[in-house]
């Protein structure tokens, strides 16, 4: 890049997008001598987005048209496209970057194409191969792949999906998932919980078990089994304290609250924001969850994850040994959690495995690949 700065325009709209793009933005900010970075947000979920921007100290340069409630996909797509168009005209970027499979990302790739600007796709190559599931995300990511110039795949499986779609191998970079970079960035900072109960729970000296459960297939009886297992664990292990994050869904609450409310050493809490949740995972001894994201994040913090499901679309953690499928069978949950509480060799066997989803350096690899791509053209 002799003599001039590389101009990068980063675009994102939702909270998960912001979490996964933030580390890439921060990585570019380390190179002010080489890069002019511009951040545009589409404000799809404004409050949730602001939380994340504040956590990573990122100030957007452009705030595109606020999204309306209950808008149609066509309305959202056309508004985002018209909102981005003048920004690209003004910034004249060398490359536009967006992540994942939102409508914002698909639109950003289309707008780049109209302006003949290179497009880099972060978290490329995820597929279900079902056009309408997830809708519209599966086609958003497939169409984005057709328009993208550089593809940053989180895993080799994602790379294989892109190769099968005809993407040239020299345009695909396996980087790991930037969600791990974000997590480690936040976890490295000191934190005091505003919620006194939580602060007390994490500093009690007891072994903290973090529980989250919300999946539809666990509604009703399976969730009741999970609750009974949690009570049994607390009674069997006096050195255990439980924090149970309660999903907003009333169907979930009407099972969990009567079972666990006011039970000793069990704290039922409202679902925390991103930063406190990261610090809850960090403070915990082990995690029981049916959430997909937590299966990626727990292992990055060295926490064994017991998955309250019989199947998972994230088999890498189970194969590596960071996570174990225990389903919702009360006995099995109590038995497997009990092993981890009592046997340090069992615990270390899960806690000390390398995380298959990434090592925290994905954004560095993405930035390096972009520099190399443009550096080679001088």
Active site residue 15: no
Cβ density class 239-250: b for 16+ within 10 Å, e for less: ebbbbbbbbeee
Query: Which residue of the set 27, 123, 241, 336 is catalytic?
Result: 123
What b/e string do you get for 174-191 counting C-beta neighbours within 10 Å, with b at 16 or more?
A: bbbbbbbbbbbbbbeeeb
Cα distances (angstroms) measured from residue 310 to each of 83, 217, 325, 327, 337 = 44, 10, 6, 5, 16
Single out the catalytic residue among 247, 314, 329, 359. 247
Of 85, 216, 239, 319, the active-site residue reads 216
Catalytic site includes residue 89: no
Within 10 angstroms of residue 335's Cβ, the number of other Cβ atoms is 12
How is residue 29 written in tokens? 């900010």
| Catalytic option among 79, 121, 185, 214 | 214
Largest CA distance in the chain: 68
How many DSSP H helices and E strands does the chain contain?
16, 13
Residue 217 is a catalytic residue: no
Backbone phi, then psi, for 244, in 5-degree steps?
Answer: -115, 115
Catalytic residue among 5, 36, 127, 137: 137
Q: Catalytic residue at 254? A: no
Residue 101 annotated in active site: yes
Write down the catalytic residue from 101, 138, 241, 296. Answer: 101
Classify 112 in phi/psi space as left (phi over 0), alpha (psi -120 to 50) or beta.
alpha
352: exposed, middle or buried (Cβ count in 10 Å: 0-12, 13-18, 19+): exposed
**Catalytic site residue 237?**
no
| 180 alpha-carbon distance from chain centroid | 8
Active site residues: 101, 123, 137, 214, 216, 247
């Amino acid at each position: 890049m002799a003599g001039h700065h590389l101009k990068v325009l980063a675009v994102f709209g939702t909270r998960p997008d912001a979490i996964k793009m933030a580390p890439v933005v921060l990585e570019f900010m380390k190179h002010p001598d080489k890069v002019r970075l511009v951040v545009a947000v589409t404000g799809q979920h404004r409050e949730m987005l602001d939380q994340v921007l504040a956590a990573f100290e990122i100030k957007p340069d452009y705030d595109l048209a606020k999204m309306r409630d209950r808008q149609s996909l066509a309305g959202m797509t056309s508004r985002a496209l018209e909102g981005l168009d003048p920004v690209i005209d003004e910034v004249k970027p060398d490359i536009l970057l967006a992540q994942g499979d939102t409508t914002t990302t698909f639109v950003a790739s289309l707008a780049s194409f109209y302006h003949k600007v290179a497009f880099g796709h972060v978290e490329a190559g995820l597929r279900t191969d079902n056009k309408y599931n997830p809708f519209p995300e599966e086609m958003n990511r497939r169409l984005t792949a057709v328009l993208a110039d550089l593809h940053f795949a989180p895993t080799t499986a994602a790379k294989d999906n892109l190769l099968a779609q005809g993407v040239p191998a020299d345009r695909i970079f396996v980087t790991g998932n930037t969600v791990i970079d974000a997590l480690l960035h936040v976890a490295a900072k000191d934190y005091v919980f505003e919620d006194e109960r939580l602060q007390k729970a994490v500093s009690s000296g007891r072994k903290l078990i973090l529980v989250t459960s919300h999946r539809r297939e666990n509604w009703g009886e399976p969730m009741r089994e999970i609750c009974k297992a949690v009570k049994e664990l607390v009674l069997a292990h006096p050195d255990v304290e439980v924090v149970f994050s309660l999903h907003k869904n009333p169907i979930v609450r009407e099972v969990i609250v009567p079972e666990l409310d006011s039970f000793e050493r069990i704290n039922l809490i409202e679902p925390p924001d991103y930063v406190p949740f990261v610090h809850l995972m960090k403070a915990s001894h082990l995690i029981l969850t049916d959430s997909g994201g937590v299966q990626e994040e727990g292992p990055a913090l060295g926490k064994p994850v017991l998955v309250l499901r019989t199947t998972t679309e994230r088999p890498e953690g189970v194969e590596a040994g960071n996570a174990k499928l225990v389903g919702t069978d009360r006995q099995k949950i109590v038995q497997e959690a009990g092993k981890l509480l009592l046997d340090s060799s069992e615990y270390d066997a899960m806690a000390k495995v390398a995380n298959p989803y990434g090592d925290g350096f994905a954004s560095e690899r993405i930035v390096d690949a972009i520099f190399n791509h443009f550096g080679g053209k001088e």
